[in-house]
Amino acid sequence: MSRIGESELILNPDGSVYHLKLQPDELAGDIIVVGDPGRVANVSKHFDRIELTRQNREIITHTGYVGEKRITVLSTGMGTDNIDIVLNELDALVNIDLGRREKKSGHTALNIIRLGTSGALQAGVPVDSVVASTHGIGLDGMLYYYKKLPEVIDAEITDAFIEQTSWHPHFPRPYAVACSPELLRHVGEGFLHGMTATSPGFYGPQGRILRLETTHPDLNQAIAGFDFKGQKILNFEMETSALYGLGLMLGHNTLTLCAIIANRVEKKFSKDYHPVIDKLIVNVIDKLVSLP
């Protein structure tokens, strides 16, 4: 096996991976990721005991137990660029021998569930509901830097999306990637199911206009109007497509569950979405405990 160079896989002096600052034995096989660093403690407060807390920049990690189930919760920060860092380093912790700097001969698959917030793109998707993302539609272009993308992309959905939305030629080429069907079936039960658009920004890329006009003023309507065999894009957020794409390329199981805190069509915003998030956290932890 070829050795991975020091400049490619950067380790801290203690041998931990560079950004997460974690050692392999500090990571559980079931992982909850959140964007907001402040939300990590809102998850881990439901653990029976916490064995590890770690922070580096916006990445906070808590690993602990609920009964006999070991769970890690960590914050990623916002955006697919941060997901690129987090997913590659999570995978390195379980599938690379950090001491020898070599890929392991076997493979370990992680369960990675993102809990986030998002805005609905369809009238009738209620504020304070939860959407389980069947697919991430990436509008950021980041995954095209990886050679393996054609193996995991849903080309039929991708091509249909480009055609139906009259996708602007100067925008990054979109890509569609599916979640883990097993996690959707087990952890996504009881929530709304639909596709999710992942944007590379919060303002212009999501059709918000403050002082700058957007290139495609009807972008949200075009995305909301997309229909693939009866499936619609229900919401907008900033991480899911990269989570799904990198997860599939690296052989991990991924799912995103987002609380709907705004409805962009109905111009509504949640009066207080924190109870919805708290209920979602408890629901997901309970389902993770029952996973084999």
Q: Domain containing 264 — which CATH number?
A: 3.40.50.1580
The answer as to whether 250 is a domain residue is yes
The answer as to whether 231 is a domain residue is yes
Distance, CA of 101 to chain centre: 27
Residue 248: per-residue pLDDT: 98
The answer as to whether 8 is a domain residue is no
The answer as to whether 14 is a domain residue is no
Could you tell me the residue range of the domain that residue 48 belongs to? Answer: 24-289
The answer as to whether 216 is a domain residue is yes
Average pLDDT over residues 166-189: 97
Average pLDDT over residues 201-226: 94
CA distance 158 to 18: 34
* pLDDT tens, position by position, 2-35: 999 999 999 999 999 999 999 999 999 999 999 9
What CA–CA distances, in Å, run from 184 to 98, 192, 193, 206, 246?
32, 11, 9, 26, 17
The answer as to whether 50 is a domain residue is yes
Would you place residue 1 in the very low, low, confident or very high pLDDT band (cuts 50, 70, 90)? low
The answer as to whether 173 is a domain residue is yes
The answer as to whether 12 is a domain residue is no
* Main-chain phi, psi angles of 4, to 5 degrees: -85, 125
Provide the number of structural domains found in the chain.
1
